[in-house]
A and B are shown apart, each in its own frame.
Chain A
Amino acid sequence: MELKTVGKSITKFDAFEKVTGEAVYIADVEFPNVLHIKVVRSSVAHGRIKTVFTEDAYKTEGVRGIITGEKIDFLAGICIYDQPPLAKDRVRYIGEPVAAVVADTIAAAEKAARLVRVDYEELPHVEDPVDAAGEKAPLIHEELGSYFHLPGFNPEPGTNIFHHYHLEKGDTEKGFKNSDVIIERTYTFPHIAHAQIEPHGAIAKWSKGKELHIYSSTQGPFIVRGALSRMFNIPNNLVRVTVPYLGGGFGGKSDLTIEPLTAYAAKFFPGRWLRLILTREEMFFGSLIGRGTHSHIKMGFTRNGKLVAADVKVHLAGGAYGDYSINIVTGTGHNATGPYEIENVNIDSFGVYTNTPLVGACRGYGHPEAHWMTERTMDIAARELKTDPVKLRLKNILKPGSENNLGQIIRKSNGDLEGAIRRAVKEIQLDKREEPDNPRFAAGKSIAALMKSPVMSTNAGSSVIIRANRDGTFHLLASHVDMGQGSVTALSQIAAETLGVPVEKIHHNRGVDTEFTPYEWQTVASSTTWKAGSAVKKAAISVLERFKAIASEVFKTTPDKLTASNERIWYGRNSISFADLAEGYVFPDGHAIAGPVIGTGSIVPQGLTYPDRKTGRGELAAEWTFGCQAAEIELDKKTGRIRVKKFVTVLDAGKIINPVMARGQVEGAVVQGIGAALNETLIYSDKGRVRNSNLTDYKIPTPEDTPDEIVTVFLETPQPGGPFGARPLAEHGIVSVAPAIANALRDATGMDFYDLPLNQDRILKALYGKGEEK
């Protein structure tokens, strides 16, 4: 059947209000009777709070209260409950909230916050995850053994390891014994910032001492609702979370961030709205940061290039609290060896407490960390084996019938990885060499393959409601957060296609309100179009079924004799319009039947399980998307600066619902990936303070830094379980950017790099100082 709406580049439903300035974001929401919060943050990386002096601060005009953590008797969390909303007795990173100053104006709150003095007894601190996992490291959470955690996680009390994910397949000892070439390398991926242009904010009010309403720039309104409900021991239906337009997330606004603190402070001012908007500086340590892995990989190959064994150890510097990075540990673990079939695998992935800001979800998490080591190592192995890196990959990739590390059998419908690799090679013209005329420059090209699964809870459900209106239009209600990816539009396209109506007849709610819009786990993991999209399809089908049930009463027949097309229900040559069925049918004599039509759709990812406790294997991935990226770079040997001339991404994402928006997701991810590859890193002082907490010293790509050419190709092997054959797509564009560039840099210079970012300092040092080649 020909598709009318799906597959078309419908312009974004919410673009009008964004180009006119009408769209209301968290900082634009205005309330009567508002109070402002300024957070006093820890100035030491690890210590005991001796005294908090608030007398001087209290004297500031306009100050209404100063909230500290001493009375807090609960811990907040989702997967492991390890963090109080304000530090209690102990601080574990520089930037940790110690007090919330509440005042009539933000200026008064800021002035008073500067007058709060905190005395600490300093304790030894640790930032490096390998050091932190060692026996000599200062213990950051002595109470780890008493923390509640969900099944599937494995804390090691008495150490800083809050989660150890172990995966084994086959017999690695035997595998390495049978290997002719063994490559062993260590890689690091530093802490980076999401640097969403919109700072995070939350505004909360309590009523009657037991009802909480919070506005937040969150990607996970129902996650926030659940956590606050547990924290304050109030029912789910008395916590209301409202999300206005969201100015960029990339995972940094998922799970929980500033909501527990804002809600806790608001509890002391019932009936008043308390407002906390982070400053740009606070966005670098007062919310979530990303990545931060130290990885050791050992890969064994037979002489003819068969990858037969892999042993991996990953240490993730999760920050002072582990709740938000705990899933990254598992994700990095089971993705650690990339898109290859390996008979013998042993993986240990450790989430380690460090005295740094908290790591959370960050565009594609688990996958860029894993591919940084695997895709570099594959190139190195090809050299050692004296074979072509493309051939080496093709020999070992996961293909239909292959068994991945988790024990899942790859199906043809998972996508065409071989096709993606071949297409990327062709698009980048890997066989064509163009040496720069000027010897100051060196050119290089290379590829890096990729795979990604949505890392999510086993019960990450979606539900949607479709309401039919009297004029033949429809309301689509859902609680995914459209932070620019275009899910409001894509889901409307799925609804329109299924109902058989023009997309203009669908109106989708903007923003989310847990009071009115139905449950959605959260908007992460590139999963909305695929997962919530399936729920939309179900809801639209249920509307059509309802229409048919009503029409069958009118036509005095059974629903199975009826068909739907052209916005009407047909019985032979007779028909009734959707409009005339929307509120139930009214007969010519005035009597009515059935009442207003509502359709609902609910889904949960099929068959996900917790990992097996011994082997770490199981149904951890609901779906796979495969692809390949390729980079063409030019290095200025004088400045050490890399220019990405051309960047290619080929993804098999199944049916593309909206090509322009899909390309927009990939292009944005590629450029963010180039930022992480070439420039981005949080720099810590000896004391553990983030030293580059502004957009001048933490450089994200600017308009001049975008590659001359970005090529995005979609292969569209349909995914039978996804709506109209779609599978997850969005973050995939970031996954193998860094290894593609580093492989191209090796091609240009003959030098191997193992640490990110590949900034000018590092490259100049390698070119003219002590080389990095190992």
Chain B
Amino acid sequence: MSIPLHIRINENSYNLQVEEDETLISLLRDRLHLTGVKEGCGNGECGACAVIADGQPVRSCIILAAEMEGKSITTIEGLTETDENGNVSLSPIQKSFIEEGAVQCGFCTPGFIIAAEALFMRNSDPGDEAVKEALSGHLCRCTGYKSIFKAIDKTVKNRYKT
């Protein structure tokens, strides 16, 4: 049975019909082709599929699309800004990930960046414990995490400088 769904994704409004067992990741990746949302486990264990729903980080692989009625979703594709000339500017956290070498294979990267961004929405000056808490359940097999912590730390510090 299909269900109507009104949803905003990366600032665009959609009126869709979704199946009752359709996951949010399936809607985002398979139907809307937002492939920056990564599927690493399909079971909520790795965090690669994280998106922001009304300011909260959610695992899109274990949440139904139908539950997102009326919500506003941000995926990794929604973090950059493009000006009228087509110039893309990265968000501060994206820049820090590049500068601190926090990106290796890149598969977990969208999930980590989304987790950090969602944290900043709730807490503009998170301490180490809040950062660890926000990243818990996100897995990276390449970096050993140090550079990811550095990138987040740098973003927090830069905010206070500017």
Q: Give A contacts to B, CB under 8 Å.
A: 9, 11-12, 14-25, 27-28, 30, 194-199, 245-250, 279-280, 483-486, 660-661, 663-664, 667-672, 694-696, 700-704, 706, 710
- The interface on chain B, measured as residues whose beta carbon lies within 8 A of the other chain's beta carbons, has a size of 52
Which 10 A-B residue pairs are closest in the complex by CB-CB distance?
A: A21-B36, A18-B106, A484-B104, A247-B107, A484-B105, A671-B144, A21-B76, A28-B35, A667-B144, A695-B45
Q: Is the CB of A21 within 8 A of B103?
A: no
Chain A residues near B99 (CB, 8 Å)? 11
User: What residues of chain A lie closer than 8 Å to B35, measured between beta carbons?
Assistant: 21, 24-25, 27-28
What 14 new A-B contacts, CB under 8 Å, besides A19-B97, A246-B105, A247-B106? A12-B103, A19-B110, A20-B76, A20-B79, A20-B80, A20-B88, A21-B37, A25-B107, A27-B38, A197-B140, A663-B101, A670-B144, A696-B45, A703-B148
Are the CB atoms of A704 and B132 closer together than 8 Å? yes
The complex places the Cα of A154 from the Cα of B126 at a distance, in Å, of 59
> Shortest beta-carbon distance, B108 to chain A, in Å?
5
CA distance A25 to B103 in the complex (A): 15
B120: CB under 8 A from chain A?
A: no
User: Given that A21-B35, A280-B41 are contacting pairs, would A12 and B101 also be in contact in the complex, using a CB cutoff of 8 Å?
Assistant: yes
Contacts of B77 in A (CB 8 A): 20-21
Point out the residue from B40, B42, B110, B138 that lies within 8 Å of A21, measured CB to CB: B110
Q: In the assembly, what is the distance between CA of A198 and CA of B90, in Å?
A: 24
Contacts of B137 in A (CB 8 A): 702
**B103 lies within 8 A of A15 (CB):** yes
Closest to B151 in A: A19
Closest to B76 in A: A21
Check B103 against A485 for contact (C-beta < 8 Å): no
- With an 8 A cutoff between CB atoms, is B146 at the interface? yes
User: Is there an interface contact between A668 and B38, defined as CB atoms closer than 8 Å?
Assistant: no
A280-B41, A694-B43, A710-B144 known; A197 vs B80 contact (CB < 8 Å) = no
* B46–A695 CB distance below 8 A: yes
B159 at the interface (CB under 8 A from A): no
Q: Are B145 and A706 in contact (CB under 8 A)?
A: yes
| Nearest-Cβ distance from residue A466 to partner chain B, whole angstroms | 26
Residue of A nearest to B79 (CB): A20
A19 to B98, CA, bound (A): 8
Q: How far is the CB of A119 from chain B (nearest CB, A)?
A: 30
CB neighbours of A197 from chain B (8 A):
38, 40, 46, 48, 105, 107-108, 139-141
Q: Which of B97, B135, B145 contacts A15 (CB 8 A)?
A: B97
Smallest Cβ-Cβ distance to A25: which chain B residue: B107
Which residues of B100-137 have CB atoms within 8 Å of chain A's CB atoms?
Answer: 101, 103-110, 113, 132, 135-137
**Cβ of B139 to closest chain A Cβ, rounded Å:** 6
Closest Cβ of chain B: how far from A62's Cβ, in Å? 15
Give chain A nearest CB distance to B83 CB in angstroms: 15
Give complex CA distance A20, B137 in Å.
21
Nearest CB of chain B from residue A104's CB, rounded to whole Å: 14
With A25-B38, A197-B141: A19-B104 Cβ-Cβ less than 8 Å: no
- What is the CA–CA distance of A182 and B36 in the complex, to the nearest angstrom? 58
User: Would B105 and A27 count as touching, CB distance under 8 A?
Assistant: no
When chains A and B are docked, how far (Å) is the Cα of A82 from the Cα of B98?
Answer: 44
Question: How many Å from the CB of A37 to the closest CB on chain B?
Answer: 17
Chain A residues with CB under 8 Å of B45's CB are 280, 694-696
